[in-house]
Amino acid sequence: YTLVVNDNPNYILPLHVLREFEDDGFFESIHPTIFTTSGVGTSVADSKNIGRGIARDLREMSVDGALLVAT
C-alpha cells in the first residue's frame, strides 16, 4: 500500500483540505513537520514511547493542535 500513498499522500493526510481551511482562516498555519507512524505489529510499550516523543516534539515546536487521521 505504500505505493498508493506515495502516489497520493492525501490518503493519509488530506493536506489539500487543510490548506483550504488555512486559507479560510480556521487556523493560522500548518506546521511544516508531519509525524506519521504505522501501528501494525508495534507493541503497546513502543507505541507509548513514540507518542511521548511526538508530544514532546510538538510542545517544543509550540504546536497548538494536531490532526489525528485514522487509516
pLDDT in tens, 16-44: 889 999 999 999 999 988 887 776 788 88
In DSSP notation, 1-18 reads: -HHHHHH-GGGT--HHHH
Phi, psi of 5 (to 5 degrees): -70, -40
DSSP-derived 3-state class of residue 5 = helix
On the question of pLDDT at 2 being above 60, the answer is yes
pLDDT number for residue 39: 67
Report residue 67 as a C-alpha cell. Answer: 490532526
pLDDT tens, residue by residue, 43-53: 889 989 999 99
